[in-house]
Amino acid sequence: MLHNAYGIGGTITTTFNLAQALAERHEVEIVSVLRHRERPNFTLDPKVSLRPLVDLRHEKEHPLHLRPARVFPVAEYRHQQYSELTDQRIGECLAAIDADVVIGTRPGLNVHLALQAPEHVVRIGQEHLTLGNHPPRLRTALRRAYRRLDVLTTVTEADAAAYRRRMRLPGVRVEALPNSVPDPVLPAADGTARIVVAAGRLVPVKRYDLLIEAFALVAAEHPDWQLRIYGKGEEQDRLRQLIHRLGLYENVFLMGAAAPMEAEWVKGSIGAAASNFEPFGMTIVEAMRCGLPVVSTDCPYGPGEIIENGVDGRLVPVGDRDALGAALLDLVRDDERRRRMGRTAMANARRFAPVPVVEHAERLMDEAMSARRSGRRITPERGRIRNALVSQGFAARDTAHAAAARALRTVRRGRR
């Protein structure tokens, strides 16, 4: 179950990838809560069916869609896009569903799934951001609802550990399940092109400004190298102005969005990422699978679990322009090292191929189905008492923060 399968984003990409891989052996359907265009941006395998619940092209002014959602949590980032109509359609969809397993792909949909799925259905919630990324009010709501899930997956081991430590979810299996990237169909990059490639939404957290400033160090020493940035977003005009201010208009190019990106990755020799925060790092894996070593900031949570520093890429401190520029220069200057690391990146990134990821997902689903059919629930071990006490401390803290935020909102409303 997706927010909007007709948009562009990492969650959509990885959901399509997983659905298509599962469809080799299972009947798979993607339910898209919202729809705003005729066809999805990404190509979907014909073996996977796609069902929208609310078509915004015709139902945007539906009376129920003008009323706020009651099931979808208020503190969830997308709450304003949900309504009584989405509550109703999601509830009807889940009540009538004949699937063995239903997977939610964002916190608000996981709450629907936890509260409304029939008893025979295995309920798997996916976390594509991180627990720490959510506001206290949302974490409080998730603590209550998530206890009715069977499995909760995160995209990194670090976030799985955070969920186990900070959330008390007795009977819920919390496990890391990384995103998968399809096997490349084009020949891998050979490391000879004088091009650095970056991709993603042009938003502040991705720090393309830092990457451009770091690349200025490369261009000063090697003016024949280019930086190509693929994506679109709110930062586009500001980044273009920065490129001109630094005199890099012959070296740095904003290429616009490209989907799929594989044909663009293989034109480069180095991948780059400069984010302040990265729940996983889908573009890092994409670049590595195409034979590019990746230079990335070592931000929470994903890059450090994907890149082996100095072996298949480089990790540098968050926000450090000079370190980022120096790491890029190291690979630009050393052709043999760059090519060797690119070959290693391609080999190491095979762990994110569809087959191992899907086998992991199937194993989780099979075990959860067996547990649900037998009426078993995983119970906390005695040794986990300390973790329970720790999670209770986090819960109390989140509840206090949420209460303070509510009080502040009440005071502000009273002043108007």
Residue from 64, 118, 103, 110 nearest 87 by CA: 64
Q: Output the tens digit of pLDDT for each of the chain's 416 residues.
A: 999 999 988 899 899 999 999 999 999 999 999 999 999 988 899 999 999 999 999 999 999 999 999 999 999 999 999 999 999 999 999 999 999 999 999 999 999 999 999 999 999 999 999 999 999 999 999 999 999 999 999 999 999 999 999 998 999 999 999 998 889 999 999 999 999 999 999 999 999 999 999 999 999 999 999 999 999 999 999 999 999 999 999 999 999 999 789 999 999 999 999 999 999 999 999 999 999 999 999 999 999 999 999 999 999 999 999 999 999 999 999 999 999 999 999 999 999 998 999 999 999 999 999 998 888 765 444 445 445 444 556 556 665 655 555 555 555 556 66
Residue from 197, 203, 205, 207 nearest 321 by CA: 207
CA 42: distance to chain centroid?
16
Q: How many angstroms separate the CA atoms of 211 and 207, rounded?
A: 7
Residue from 2, 357, 358, 364 nearest 151 by CA: 364
**What distances in angstroms separate CA 34 from CA 215, 260, 335, 402, one per listed residue?**
39, 22, 48, 29
H/E element holding 23?
none
pTM as predicted: 0.84
Q: How many angstroms separate the CA atoms of 206 and 277, rounded?
A: 7
